[in-house]
Chain A
Amino acid sequence: MLYFRYTRNVPHIAAHLSGSMLQIRDLAKRFGGNRAVDGVSFDVHKGAIAGLIGPNGAGKTTLFNCVAGLYRPDAGTITLDGNRIDGKRTSLVHAAGLARTFQIPRPFPAMSVLENVLVGVPGQSGERFWANWFAPTRVAADEAKARETARAWIDFVGLGALEQAPARVLSGGQRKLLELARAMVADPRLVLLDEPAAGVNPALLEKIIDRIAEINRRGTSFLIVEHNMDMVMRLCHPIAVMAQGKLIAFGDADSVRRNPTVVEAYLGGAVA
């Protein structure tokens, strides 16, 4: 049975809902004959923590991959702050201010936690080959600054003690936290989180929820895919619901929860 536990809403939403940040229009992505995303349109407004839910295989991750530039959509447009980003390279989408995490974490296993997060810091002069030879002082200064930023985020997600450990030793939940830190260190304006709560223990999950809310209060927008309904209902507004590649509902927690189509989609018709 579908079970939505009612909990208090985190008071964050009203913050600054001014205009749309991410616009998805008629987005479609096929894998062979499988319409993984099938004409989806919705907006994420500035300052929002939007949710994207739906049963397994609904097309949520595929939609993320289209937005983040990993997949080229078959049809439709995606705009970030008014600029088209559909079909653009992932690295360019990231530079445009969009960071994402992966449903199955993808740490750099042999690199330390600190190095993992350092890779996410944008604009490091030391990443340009020649700067290492012709502007070493600038490189050193940038590196010191980058380390400071990276450490702040590592502490923020509570991985400070593991800073020097190779990422391969991290547990599943810690990998989720590492992904979060690595995405956040770029100071993105919009963050796509794919199941940030999956495999995370309840105490840690509370921390993550608090932190997402806190980061959001500083002005970052979120779009979160999550199966943990408790978390979604508490944190997300509005909530988009996908099933079989289509958007079947869009609205606040209450309206989504009461929507019979949504209930139907989750039950898959197994129980009337």
Chain B
Amino acid sequence: MSEFLPVLSYATFFLVFASIFATMALGLNLQWGYTGLFNVGVAGFVAVGAYASALLTTPPDAGPGAVRVVGLGLPIVVGWIGGTVAAGLVAAAVGFAALRLRHDYLAIATFGIAVVIQLVALNAQKLTGGPFGIQFIPKPFDAQLDGSLAFNALYLALTLAALGCVYAALQRLAASPWGRVLRAIREDETAAEALGKRAFAFRLQSFAIGGAIMGFGGALYAHFVGYIAPEDFLPILTFQIWTMLIVGGAGSNRGAIAGTVVVWAIWTIAGNGLRELIPAADQARAASLQIVLVGVLLAAMLLWRPQGLLGPRPSKSPSA
């Protein structure tokens, strides 16, 4: 029995991350899969959610030489809500500025804002702790459980419930008249406008809600790990979430979740495998190989199954 415990512990750990990433992938699916908005700043919105939640719930550093002087020590639930809302507001602001412009500007704007957010996290030391990040972010449940299998299992139940709620809400939205307009705009914006739908307003809503969901994912992450730093929110995170969505199938919420599990499994297995195979001196290269491997997976998927595992078949309308 006892030899299974590490495996079980690792499995719950793996699944907690999978469900958090899946939540973020669902946010991206709303933006890209349902609305066609090319957000390459996922990590930025995740960071806003994580930092906002951490700042709301974590007291400032104590003692002499304290770096971080801001922090509220509010309940964790307040942090989750605050992180979600903050990321949604940032997304709304970015969207308001960029969604009127040509489509490719959104990519540039989101990439830029993610870099800016990361730089702010790195340099606004008094607020974010700078490169040291925010430590001792409160975790839910009993403090004695911290780091144990029981904590992982309880947190897993929580992230699964959160994922389930987000999934159910998005499924319902997709089936609603609101989702119908979103699809219409994605298929033919001019025709949708001619039917009285203001594409900009719908895109903005979709972008803000998607950003809020990513922020929620970031908040869930912060209170699981208990420590966040700017290096957690590098563009590699954006790349991971995108790969998860593409592999699973953009436009399908179930696909986004399935893709997350598959890519996250490959990512972790590859990481462990490479660590075993590659001599200690070259471990830094192993991390790069991990990225290459997932990149190859992404490329292969785009070549042979562009709709992903569960995505809707691309609709090719015969030219009239």
Q: What residues of chain A have their CB less than 8 Å away from a CB belonging to chain B? A: 68-70, 89-91, 94-95, 99-100, 102, 104-111, 115-116, 118-120, 122, 124, 126-129, 132, 139, 142-143, 146, 166-168, 172, 175, 182, 186
Q: Is the CB of A111 within 8 A of B187?
A: yes
Q: Is the CB of A70 within 8 A of B196?
A: no
Contacts of B180 in A (CB 8 A): 111, 115, 118-119, 127
| Minimum CB–CB distance for A181 against chain B, Å | 11
| Minimum CB–CB distance for A241 against chain B, Å | 25
Q: Is the CB of A122 within 8 A of B196?
A: yes
Cα of A110 to Cα of B61 in the assembled complex, Å: 55
Q: List which B121-174 residues lie within 8 A (CB) of chain A.
A: 172-173
* 6 closest cross-chain pairs (CB), A and B: A126-B177, A94-B196, A109-B317, A110-B315, A106-B191, A108-B187
A104-B320, A110-B183 known; 5 new pairs, CB 8 Å cut-off, are: A70-B193, A89-B193, A99-B195, A127-B178, A139-B177
Cα of A104 to Cα of B320 in the assembled complex, Å: 8
Q: In the complex, which residue of chain B has the Cβ closest to the Cβ of A199? A: B320
Q: Is the CB of B196 within 8 A of A186?
A: yes
Q: In the complex, which residue of chain A has the Cβ closest to the Cβ of B209? A: A129
Mark each residue of chain B from 229 to 246: 1 if its CB lies under 8 Å from any CB of chain A, else 0: 000000000000000000
User: A108 and B188 in contact (CB under 8 A), knowing A118-B180, A168-B317?
Assistant: yes
| Minimum CB–CB distance for B238 against chain A, Å | 25
| Selected contact of B195 from candidates A119, A126, A132, CB within 8 Å | A119
| Selected contact of A146 from candidates B177, B188, B194, CB within 8 Å | B177
Cα of A107 to Cα of B292 in the assembled complex, Å: 41
Contacts of A175 in B (CB 8 A): 320
| Minimum CB–CB distance for A19 against chain B, Å | 25
User: A110 and B177 in contact (CB under 8 A), knowing A94-B194, A120-B195?
Assistant: no
Cα of A92 to Cα of B199 in the assembled complex, Å: 12
Q: Is the CB of A100 within 8 A of B194?
A: yes
| Selected contact of A166 from candidates B172, B188, B209, B315, CB within 8 Å | B315
Contacts of B191 in A (CB 8 A): 102, 106-108
In the complex, how many residue pairs between chain A and chain B have their CB atoms under 8 Å apart? 100
Of the candidates B180, B197, B199, the one having the most CB atoms from chain A within 10 angstroms of its own CB is B180
Contacts of B187 in A (CB 8 A): 108-111
Cα of A146 to Cα of B315 in the assembled complex, Å: 26
| Minimum CB–CB distance for A154 against chain B, Å | 15
Cα of A166 to Cα of B193 in the assembled complex, Å: 20
Contacts of A124 in B (CB 8 A): 177
Any chain A CB within 8 A of the CB of B115? no
Any chain A CB within 8 A of the CB of B295? no
Contacts of A166 in B (CB 8 A): 315
Q: Is the CB of A91 within 8 A of B178?
A: no
Any chain A CB within 8 A of the CB of B198? yes
Q: Is the CB of B193 within 8 A of A132?
A: no
Any chain A CB within 8 A of the CB of B181? yes
Q: Is the CB of B315 within 8 A of A182?
A: no
Contacts of B172 in A (CB 8 A): 132
A-B contact pairs, 26 of them (CB 8 A): A70-B194, A91-B193, A91-B197, A91-B199, A94-B196, A100-B194, A102-B194, A106-B191, A106-B194, A108-B183, A108-B188, A108-B192, A109-B317, A110-B183, A110-B312, A118-B177, A119-B181, A120-B195, A126-B177, A127-B180, A129-B205, A132-B172, A132-B173, A132-B176, A132-B178, A142-B177
Cα of A75 to Cα of B192 in the assembled complex, Å: 26
Cα of A109 to Cα of B318 in the assembled complex, Å: 9
Q: List which B195-216 residues lie within 8 A (CB) of chain A.
A: 195-199, 205, 209
Contacts of B183 in A (CB 8 A): 108, 110-111, 115
| Minimum CB–CB distance for A118 against chain B, Å | 6
Q: In the complex, which residue of chain B has the Cβ closest to the Cβ of A90? A: B193
Any chain A CB within 8 A of the CB of B46? no
User: A68 and B315 in contact (CB under 8 A), knowing A105-B320, A132-B178?
Assistant: no
Q: Is the CB of A89 within 8 A of B198?
A: yes
Contacts of B195 in A (CB 8 A): 94, 99, 119-120, 182, 186
| Selected contact of B176 from candidates A68, A110, A116, A126, CB within 8 Å | A126
| Minimum CB–CB distance for A91 against chain B, Å | 5
Q: Is the CB of A127 within 8 A of B181?
A: yes
Any chain A CB within 8 A of the CB of B258? no
Contacts of B320 in A (CB 8 A): 104-105, 172, 175
Of the candidates A91, A128, A139, the one having the most CB atoms from chain B within 10 angstroms of its own CB is A91
Q: In the complex, which residue of chain B has the Cβ closest to the Cβ of A68? A: B194
| Minimum CB–CB distance for A53 against chain B, Å | 22
Contacts of B315 in A (CB 8 A): 109-110, 166, 168
Q: In the complex, which residue of chain B has the Cβ closest to the Cβ of A100? A: B194
Q: Is the CB of B177 within 8 A of A91?
A: no
Of the candidates B181, B187, B198, the one having the most CB atoms from chain A within 10 angstroms of its own CB is B187
Contacts of A102 in B (CB 8 A): 191, 194
Q: Is the CB of B184 within 8 A of A111?
A: yes
Cα of A108 to Cα of B199 in the assembled complex, Å: 14
Any chain A CB within 8 A of the CB of B190? yes
Q: Is the CB of B190 within 8 A of A70?
A: yes
Q: Is the CB of B209 within 8 A of A119?
A: no
| Minimum CB–CB distance for B6 against chain A, Å | 43
Q: In the complex, which residue of chain B has the Cβ closest to the Cβ of A116? A: B184
Of the candidates A106, A111, A142, A172, the one having the most CB atoms from chain B within 10 angstroms of its own CB is A106
